[in-house]
């Protein structure tokens, strides 16, 4: 059977000159969800630029797996290149393949079990330091914990809160600038010394210096560390070449950026949902209490924390951190019945897809039990919090395990209660994060003096 081949249709309500830029800039999250009602694939005009939005999970599977050789990572990731090096998330072609081969073993699921004690020991002091009835900025707490965990696992060091906050702010500033540049893709604006650009350049320097110091320490004491930085400093490609310091800095920055905020916002949303669903919170506490039975959390507990894991999957569905991902065609390609010429900018929204009522019944309800095997499961490819194909997240097992560890650590000691009257909105920035999330820590079991881990 031969089917007709079409050019993707243009979305309605295109305004002369600016196209669809206004709703995309003003109300992005709502707009990417509305775009799904325009069909499996639809074209947007953003000023002079055209962006093709893929809504169909089947077309996405085709693009990210069988046809992936026709695409590079596109708009969002182009903008990250200006901050130096071509680390894994932005590397292309052979370089990407080589780098992925080098790094994959360190984050392989067999390896992740070995990080569990580090995850626990890194996160536990923060959780133990909360005070009963204290109001916590949950987003910030989760950011610091998630970043501490990535740092500890990747370069065996968990800087004090001060330096950690500096690095965290640096990563945040640099990536906010990249997102701004991707939203308004006019190259000249990126080089202008605007306050935003100046902040991003300064943050990039601070970040590089902080990581350079860590690398210098590793080079000076090569036997003292067994972590990803040591690995990156020693790996060789097939020609025997090693990575330069600059390339290692780029990889480490990228891992911190890719691995901290994503996990942190997922955890923040999870505690937000638990705060408004006491029944789910009670079930979590029951599971954690019975599985841990007063012991320190260890690798053997992780598979037993099944309800905890369903809570995390459901959070990754309803509050997926990625509201926009991009690709660009490097050669003409056909997706389903649609033809895309070379140089087509493509975008999709896992966030919007995960809220589609055609794929997930009652999509706005937070229901971890939808993931019970006896319940009907979504169609293949409809749930892809970590992407799919050769560019799929390299840290998926790491972050899932980390999220179980941190959720269980918090649940074993605390209830996080919403602050009365607070409204929590989703803000689509680098990830979709809560507008602000102040919660009150209520001690479940009072920890006696000297017994805190
Ligand atoms: C909840 C947590 C996380 C989510 C939702 C997430 C999501 C994703 C997604 C959707 C992609 C694919 C992007 C694309 O196809 O364009 C990706 C790639 C990537 N992620 Fe994650 N991620 C998470 C945690 C982590 C962690 C913990 C690390 C590392 C420690 C990490 C490192 C990476 C890297 C290096 C890539 C690029 C892979 C490549 O291009 O080959 N991520 N992530």
Alpha-carbon gap, residue 213 to 206, rounded angstroms: 11
Nearest CA to ligand 1 atom 27: 259
Distance 349 CA to ligand 1 centre (A): 15
Alpha-carbon gap, residue 266 to 272, rounded angstroms: 10
Looking at residue 449, its pLDDT comes to 35
Looking at residue 162, its pLDDT comes to 57
Positive or negative, the CA dihedral 199, 152, 212, 96 is: negative
Nearest alpha-carbon partner for 255 in 171, 321, 177, 182: 171
Domain boundaries, the chain: 21-443
Looking at residue 298, its pLDDT comes to 96
What is the mean predicted confidence (pLDDT) over 248-265? 87
What is the mean predicted confidence (pLDDT) over 92-116? 85
Write out the E strands in 105-194.
135-137
Alpha-carbon gap, residue 119 to 151, rounded angstroms: 10
What would the pLDDT profile of 405-429 be if each residue is shown by its tens digit? 999 999 999 999 999 999 999 999 8
Q: Out of 64, 393, 398, 405, give the residue to mutate to test ligand 1, the one with the largest number of ligand atoms within 8 Å of its CB.
A: 393
CA distances to 308, 415, 440, 445, 453 from 132, in Å: 23, 10, 8, 10, 16
Nearest alpha-carbon partner for 302 in 441, 443, 107, 119: 119
State whether the beta carbon of 312 lies less than 6 angstroms from ligand 1. Answer: no
Looking at residue 57, its pLDDT comes to 97
Helix or strand or coil: residue 12? coil
Nearest alpha-carbon partner for 257 in 48, 8, 89: 89
Looking at residue 333, its pLDDT comes to 97
User: Where is pLDDT greater, at 84 or 128?
Assistant: 128
Tell me the range of 34-38, 155-159, 273-277 where mean pLDDT is highest: 273-277
What would the pLDDT profile of 29-38 be if each residue is shown by its tens digit? 998 999 999 9
Looking at residue 101, its pLDDT comes to 86
CA distances to 39, 50, 245, 312, 317 from 307, in Å: 35, 43, 43, 9, 15
Would you place residue 446 in the very low, low, confident or very high pLDDT band (cuts 50, 70, 90)?
A: very low
The token duo for 88 is 């894994």
Strand order in the sheet with 325-329: 41-46, 49-54, 345-348, 325-329, 71-72
Alpha-carbon gap, residue 452 to 274, rounded angstroms: 24
Residue 172, H or E segment: helix 161-183
% pLDDT > 70, the chain: 90
State whether the beta carbon of 115 lies less than 6 angstroms from ligand 1. Answer: no
Nearest alpha-carbon partner for 323 in 33, 20, 21, 52: 33
State whether the beta carbon of 74 lies less than 6 angstroms from ligand 1. Answer: no
Q: Where are the alpha helices (DSSP H) in 380-425?
A: 396-413
Helix or strand or coil: residue 137? strand
What is the mean predicted confidence (pLDDT) over 246-266? 87
Looking at residue 16, its pLDDT comes to 73
Looking at residue 187, its pLDDT comes to 62
State whether the beta carbon of 257 lies less than 6 angstroms from ligand 1. Answer: no
What is the mean predicted confidence (pLDDT) over 281-303? 96
What would the pLDDT profile of 129-151 be if each residue is shown by its tens digit? 999 999 999 999 999 899 889 88
Looking at residue 165, its pLDDT comes to 66
State whether the beta carbon of 266 lies less than 6 angstroms from ligand 1. Answer: yes
Tell me the range of 121-125, 160-164, 166-170 where mean pLDDT is highest: 121-125
Would you place residue 330 in the very low, low, confident or very high pLDDT band (cuts 50, 70, 90)?
A: very high
Q: Which is it for strands 135-137 and 438-443: parallel, antiparallel or unpaired? A: antiparallel
Q: Please report the atom of ligand 1 found closest to the CA of residue 321.
A: 5
φ, ψ of residue 236 to 5 degrees: the values are -130, 145
DSSP string, 215-243: HHHHHH-TTS--SHHHHHHH-B-TTS-B-
What is the mean predicted confidence (pLDDT) over 112-120? 90
Which pairs count as long-range contacts for 368-371, CB under 8 Å and 24+ apart, including other chains?
368/280, 368/307, 368/310, 368/311, 368/313, 368/314, 369/310, 370/314, 371/310, 371/313, 371/314
Nearest CA to ligand 1 atom 9: 386
CATH of 21-443, one of 1.10.630.10, 1.10.3720.10, 3.20.20.220, 1.10.600.10: 1.10.630.10
Alpha-carbon gap, residue 284 to 408, rounded angstroms: 8
State whether the beta carbon of 46 lies less than 6 angstroms from ligand 1. Answer: no
The token duo for 249 is 């800095």
Would you place residue 366 in the very low, low, confident or very high pLDDT band (cuts 50, 70, 90)?
A: very high
CA distances to 14, 25, 26, 127 from 44, in Å: 8, 13, 15, 45
Average confidence score pLDDT of the chain: 87
φ, ψ of residue 49 to 5 degrees: the values are -90, 150
| Least confident residue range of 17-21, 26-30, 182-186 | 182-186
State whether the beta carbon of 263 lies less than 6 angstroms from ligand 1. Answer: yes
Nearest CA to ligand 1 atom 24: 259
Residue 451 clears pLDDT 50, i.e. is over it: no
φ, ψ of residue 396 to 5 degrees: the values are -60, -50
DSSP string, 312-325: HHHHHHHT-S-S-E
């Amino acid at each position: 059977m031969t089917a007709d081949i079409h050019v993707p249709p243009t979305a309605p309500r295109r305004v002369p000159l600016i196209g669809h830029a206004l709703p995309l800039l003003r109300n992005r999250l709502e707009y990417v969800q509305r775009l799904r009602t325009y069909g499996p694939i639809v074209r947007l005009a953003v000023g002079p630029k055209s962006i093709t939005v893929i809504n169909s999970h089947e077309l996405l599977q085709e693009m990210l797996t069988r046809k992936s050789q026709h695409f590079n990572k596109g708009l969002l990731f182009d903008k990250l290149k200006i901050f130096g090096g071509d680390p894994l998330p932005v590397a292309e072609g052979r370089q990407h393949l080589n780098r992925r081969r080098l790094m994959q073993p360190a984050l392989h699921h067999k390896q992740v079990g070995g990080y569990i004690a580090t995850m626990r020991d890194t996160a536990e002091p923060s959780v133990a330091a909360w005070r009963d009835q204290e109001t916590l900025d949950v987003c910030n707490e989760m950011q610091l914990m998630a970043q501490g965990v990535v740092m500890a696992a990747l370069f065996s060091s968990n800087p004090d809160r001060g330096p950690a906050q500096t690095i965290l702010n640096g990563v945040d500033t640099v990536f906010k600038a990249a997102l701004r540049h991707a939203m308004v893709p006019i190259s000249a604006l990126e080089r202008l010394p605007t306050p935003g650009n100046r902040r991003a350049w300064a943050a990039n320097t601070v970040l590089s210096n902080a990581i350079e110091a860590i690398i210098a320490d590793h080079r000076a004491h090569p036997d003292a560390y067994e972590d990803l930085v040591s690995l990156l400093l020693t790996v060789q490609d097939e020609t025997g070449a090693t990575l330069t310091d600059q390339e290692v800095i780029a990889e480490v920055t990228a891992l911190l950026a890719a691995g901290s905020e994503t996990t942190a916002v997922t955890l923040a949303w999870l505690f937000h949902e638990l705060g408004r669903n006491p029944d789910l919170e009670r079930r979590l506490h029951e599971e954690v209490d019975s599985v841990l039975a007063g012991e320190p959390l260890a690798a053997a507990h992780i598979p037993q924390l099944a309800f905890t894991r369903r809570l995390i999957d459901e959070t990754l569905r309803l509050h997926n951190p990625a509201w926009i991902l991009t690709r660009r065609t490097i050669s003409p390609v056909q997706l389903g019945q649609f033809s895309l010429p070379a140089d087509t900018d493509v975008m999709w929204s896992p966030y919007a897809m995960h809220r589609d009522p055609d794929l997930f019944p009652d999509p706005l309800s937070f229901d971890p039990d939808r993931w019970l095997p006896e319940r009907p499961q979504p169609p293949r490819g409809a749930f892809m919090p970590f992407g799919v194909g050769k560019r799929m997240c390299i840290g998926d097992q790491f972050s899932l395990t980390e999220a179980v560890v941190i959720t269980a650590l918090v649940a074993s000691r605390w209830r996080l209660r919403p602050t009365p009257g607070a409204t929590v909105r989703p803000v689509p920035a680098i990830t979709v994060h809560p507008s602000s999330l102040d919660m009150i820590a209520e001690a479940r079991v009072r920890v006696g003096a000297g017994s805190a881990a």
